[in-house]
């Protein structure tokens, strides 16, 4: 599986003292999730439990608290929406968005009571998906904090802590697993008094915080795309520039074919740069051991210590991430 499946975004010239001036390449690559979900689960439905409970709305209506239901429903939907949007971006799951109906009979407001499997089957859709990820409950706490930058200037931030309980209902083996998460989102505010007197502004912050909590949940459960920055060398013989062009276009194989002959150059600086570039092409090919070997060769040829140490630490970290990704993306 390709780890760098997207094209480079841009390249910036970075100068270092000596004869090793380098360019920086920005790439998109996958980061592994914190939690490894069973490979038997390939398709997924994401729902909010409060939008399934037939008694929850009725009970609040009878108490004259329909606004409380509307608030809880809207907020829960923000968490589910954030989670769904982020999961769609991940290559891990085939996501299904169901038509939500209030099909739970009885009071299921207690999240310790699992959703019955016959209901889970309905939620999972037709054809049936492998699992249902349900937001069982979401709770927020908020506060305003300030910090004194100097005797004349204070800055204020509005903090929202979102605590969520999720349950993954696996239809592949009729087992469930719970996940408890806590996410803190901070918002800069100008004046605490003006902010507290503006319920709409506070509500918007809470809504955004709950959406972000959903996004972070998805990143814990599925691999996600992020940016990686890598150095490479374009300055050298004329063909080096051609190789750099291929690299910026995402054509790492063509770039490797150009740089490989220069790894045996009698000019050590040219050979060191070529070996370093070969290391990058190997990483893009998801061959981390080969990338580390080319990096060692570049070091022997005199590559600047800054580049060697920087890239070695990134490759070693990437090796651990790749091993985890292989397990998660089977």
pLDDT digits (tens, 9 = 90+) for 88-132: 999 999 988 655 554 455 555 567 788 889 888 888 888 889 999
Residue 182 in contact with residue 159, Cβ under 8 Å? no
Angle at 31 between CA 25 and CA 35, to 5 degrees: 170
Beta strands across the sheet bearing 11-14:
11-14, 22-31, 224-232
Q: If 0-12 CB within 10 Å is exposed, 13-18 middle and 19+ buried, where does residue 149 land? A: exposed
Domains and CATH numbers, the chain: 11-31+226-328 (1.25.40.10), 43-222 (no CATH)
The backbone torsions φ and ψ at residue 298, rounded to the nearest 5 degrees and listed phi first, read: -65, -40
Long-range contacts from 153-156, C-beta under 8 angstroms, 24+ separation? 155/188, 156/188, 156/189, 156/190, 156/191, 156/192, 156/195
pLDDT by residue, tens only, the chain of 330 residues: 444 444 444 444 444 545 667 899 988 889 999 999 999 999 999 988 877 655 555 555 655 655 555 566 678 889 999 999 999 999 999 988 655 554 455 555 567 788 889 888 888 888 889 999 999 988 899 999 887 666 666 788 999 999 999 999 999 999 999 999 999 999 998 888 888 888 889 889 999 999 999 999 999 999 999 999 999 999 888 889 899 999 989 899 999 999 999 999 999 999 999 999 999 999 999 899 999 999 999 999 999 999 999 999 999 999 999 889 988 987
Residues with Cβ within 8 Å of 11's Cβ and at least 6 positions away in sequence, in order, are: 23, 24, 25, 26, 234, 244, 248
d(CA 293, CA 276): 10
Yes or no: say if 218 and 82 are a contact pair by the CB < 8 Å rule: yes
Long-range contacts of 109-112 (CB under 8 A, 24+ apart): 109/50, 109/53, 109/55, 109/56, 109/59, 111/49, 111/136, 111/137, 111/165, 111/167
CA 254, CA 244: separation in Å to the nearest integer?
Answer: 10
Quick one: how far is CA 26 from the chain centroid? 17
Q: What are the tokens at 118?
A: 């016959």
Rounded distance, CA 236 to CA 215, Å?
A: 44
Nearest-angstrom CA–CA distance, 43 and 326: 18
- pLDDT one-digit tens code per residue, 216-233: 999 999 999 999 999 999
**CA 1 remoteness from chain centre:** 18
Structure tokens at 184: 């803190």
């Amino acid at each position: 599986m390709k780890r760098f499946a997207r094209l480079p975004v841009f390249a910036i010239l970075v100068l270092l003292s000596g004869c090793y001036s380098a360019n920086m390449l920005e790439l998109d690559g996958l980061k592994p999730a914190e939690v490894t979900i069973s490979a038997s689960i390939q398709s997924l439905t994401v729902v909010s439990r409060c939008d399934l409970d037939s008694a929850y709305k009725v009970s609040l209506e009878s108490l004259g608290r329909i606004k409380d239901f509307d608030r809880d429903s809207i907020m829960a939907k923000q968490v589910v929406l954030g989670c769904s949007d982020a999961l769609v971006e991940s290559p891990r799951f085939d996501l299904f968005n169901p038509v939500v109906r209030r099909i739970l009979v009885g009071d299921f407001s207690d999240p310790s009571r699992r959703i019955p499997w016959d209901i889970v089957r309905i939620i999972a859709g037709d054809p049936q998906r492998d699992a249902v990820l349900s937001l069982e409950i979401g709770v927020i706490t908020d506060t305003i904090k300030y910090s004194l930058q100097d005797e004349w200037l204070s800055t204020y931030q509005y903090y929202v802590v979102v605590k969520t309980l999720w349950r993954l209902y696996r239809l592949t083996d009729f087992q469930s697993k719970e996940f408890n998460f806590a996410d803190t989102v901070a918002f800069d505010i100008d004046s605490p008094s003006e902010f507290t007197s503006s319920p709409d502004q506070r509500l918007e912050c809470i809504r955004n915080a709950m959406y972000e909590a959903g996004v972070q949940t998805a990143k814990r459960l599925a691999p996600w795309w992020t940016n990686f920055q890598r150095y490479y060398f374009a300055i050298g013989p004329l063909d080096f520039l051609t190789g750099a062009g291929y690299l910026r276009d995402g054509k790492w194989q063509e770039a490797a074919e150009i740089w490989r002959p220069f790894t045996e150059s009698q000019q050590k600086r040219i050979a060191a740069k070529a070996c370093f570039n070969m290391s990058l092409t190997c990483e893009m090919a998801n061959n981390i051991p080969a990338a580390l070997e080319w990096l060692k060769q570049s070091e022997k040829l005199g590559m600047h210590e800054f580049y060697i140490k920087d890239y070695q630490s990134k490759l070693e970290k990437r090796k651990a991430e790749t091993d985890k990704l292989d397990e998660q993306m089977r």
